[in-house]
Structure 1
Amino acid sequence: MTESGAGSGTREPLEGLPVPELDAVLGQAVPFDRDRWLPLLPDASWWPGELDGCPRVGRRPRVDRRTVFSVAARAGTVEADRHLLVAALVWGTGTKARGVRRRGRVFAGTPVAEIDARLGAALAALRERGPVEAYRAFNNEHGIAQLGPAFFTKVLYFAGGGAGAGPYAPLILDGVVSRALKRLGAVDGKWPEAGWRTDRYRQYLDLVHGLARQRSVRPDQVEAALFHHGGRAS
C-alpha cells in the first residue's frame, strides 16, 4: 500500500471481512463508573447529562455509540465540546480504574482554557476542512497532552455524526484496528501500532471508505469489523 492512498489491489485482503449490521455498531455499549470519572474532571459541569440516562446492565450503566452521537450533536459551544470530549473518553475506556486514571491525565496535563481552545480549533477544522485536516490539527498545533490518536479520533468520529466534510467521514483509528489492518495484510509492514502520521490516517480513511462503497455499508461498519477482528486472539 502506498503512502498516498489505496489502489484497487490493496483492498483485496479485506474483501472477506465480515461486516456487522449498522444497528449492532450503533448499539456497541461499554460499561462505565461515573464515580471514578468525576474526581478527574476539572469540575462536575464537564459531565454530560446524557450518560446519567444510560441503562444499567448488571452493576454498571453502559453507554453506546448512539448516546455519544447524541452528545456530539450538541457540540459547537465550549460546554458542549467538553461534554463530547468526556463522552468519547468514557465510551472508549470502560471501567478499569487504571484506564480511567490514564484518560484522566488529559485534564491534569493542560490548563482548561487551553483544552477548550485546542478542542474547539480541531472541531472547527473538522467542520470546515474535513477529518484529515482535523487529524492534522490534533496531531500537531492543536494537540492536547495525553490525548493521542486512539482517542482523539474517537472525538472526531462522534463529532462527524457518521458523515464529514469532503470525501471522508471521520473514523476511529486505534491499536486494535491497526492490528487488524496488519493481520489482514491491508497495510505495509512499516505500519505503526500507534502514533500514526496524518498521511497514514488519510490512507486508512481511503481504504475503509473504498471497502464501504464496495459493500454498500457505512464506513464505521467497516471500522467496527476491523476492531472485532483485531480484538480476537491470533
Structure 2
Amino acid sequence: MIQLAPVTVPKASDVLAAELRERILSSEFTEGAALPPERELVVQTQMSRATVREALRILEVQGLVRIKIGRGGGAFVQLPGKDSVASSVNLLIRGRKIRLSSLLETREAIEPYCARLAAVHRTDDDLAVLDAANRTIADEGSTMAGFLQANVDWHVAVATAGHNELLAGLMTALSRAIYTATENERFVNTEVRRVAARAHRSITDAIRAQDPEAAARRMTRHVHGYADAALKADERTEITVDDR
C-alpha cells in the first residue's frame, strides 16, 4: 500500500506576506513607496480582508513596511538597516543569555576592523559624532548613565563611520549589551572612566588622521584591556547581560 506523508498547507497570510516580501527585497516596490491599498489587495489576491491585514502585520513586524493610520495612510515600504540587525542580535543575546565573556570576545574579534574601516571611510559628520561622545565621556561631572550612554554612542559611531551597515548593527547590539552588563560601581569608577576617555581620544585621532593601522592597533589595545579589567572585576560573581 502506498503511504502518503501528511501535507502541510501554509496559511494564506504567510503566502501573501512571502510574495510581498520578495517583491520588496527585489526592489519591485521601492523604499518609501506605498503598497496597494488594502481593498485593492483584497480584490487582486481574492483573499479576505483579515488575511491581507495579517500579511501586512507580518511585514510590519519584519520591519519591511510601516503602517500609517488615517488620511493619507496605508502600508509604506521600508528597507532593513542597521537597527534591524541590532534588534535581531539583541534578541539572540538576551534570549540565549549570552555571557559577558562571550560578548567581549566577539567585540575583540571585530571592533579593531571597524576602527580600520572608520579610518578609511569616515566623513566630517562621522567625526562630529565621535567628538560629541568624547566630550561627554571626558566630563567627570557627567552621571554614570550619561557616561555609559556616551560610551555606547562612541563605539556605535566608530562602526557607523566604517559605512558597513552589517558591522554597525552588530556593534550596536554588542555595545548596548556590554554596557548594560557592566553598569555598576564594581567596575565603572573614576579611573576606568579616565582610561576610557584617553583611549577613545587616541583612537579618534587615528581615525581623523585616516591612519587605519594605528586605529586598528589602538582599538585592539583598548578593547583587550577593557575585557581584562571587566572580567577581573567579576571573578567572584559572573555578570550576564540580563543583570540590571
TM-score scaled by length of structure 1: 0.29
Return the index of the structure with the highest Cα Rg.
2
* TM-score of the pair, normalised by structure 2: 0.28
Name whichever structure is richer in helix by fraction: 2
